[in-house]
Amino acid sequence: MGHESSVPLFWRLIKPRYQLIGTKCKTCGNLFYPPKYLCPVCRKEGKLEEIKLKKSGKILTFSIVRSAPSGFEKETPYPVAIIELDDGPKLTSQIVDYKPEDLKIGRKVEACFRRIYTDGKEGIINYGLKFRPV
């Protein structure tokens, strides 16, 4: 991995997190998010390339978080869903800008840029993608 291994993981994942950058195996055609460095299907024979994934998809399943992890207690209750992107990869994301009737399996959603959390003492705000109903 070279010099990248000395950079904290959070900063190495900014590009995929903000732009939904995944990888595509040119050997088998599978898409992966988050990006992979080795195709889990083809192994060493796979040739991976970065690909910008579509920022749209649908809700496969969801749950309402009522007992949040430390630092997120003030945000409860909030929905978290498994989203299948229109390209195929699946990911977990919070759903925002919704009405209760929007929370349905199969509901179309799109990525949007939102605050993820504020870092303790320094007050640094960390942003990323969440999803909202279309």
Confidence (pLDDT) at 1:
42
**Beta-strand pair 90-94/31-32:** unpaired
- Looking at the predicted structure, is the pLDDT value of residue 62 above 70? yes
Mean pLDDT of the chain: 86
**Beta-strand pair 48-52/31-32:** unpaired
> Where exactly are the structural domains of the chain?
1-53, 55-134
* Residue keyed to tokens 């000395």: 6
* Contact between 26 and 48 (Cβ < 8 Å): yes
Q: What is the mean pLDDT of residues 86-93?
A: 95
Q: Does the 55-134 domain belong in CATH 3.30.1490? A: no
Per-residue pLDDT tens over the stretch 8-47: 555 555 565 567 889 999 999 999 998 898 999 998 888 9
Confidence (pLDDT) at 101:
95
pLDDT category, 131, cuts 50, 70, 90?
A: very high
- Euclidean distance between CA atoms 109 and 132, whole angstroms: 5
DSSP code, position 95: B
| Among candidate residues 68, 93, 64, the one with its CA nearest the CA of residue 79 | 64
Predicted TM-score of the model (pTM): 0.79
Full DSSP string of 10-79: HHHTHHHHHH-EEEEETTT--EESS--SSBTTTBTT--EEEEEPPSEEEEEEEEEESSPPTT-GGG-SEE
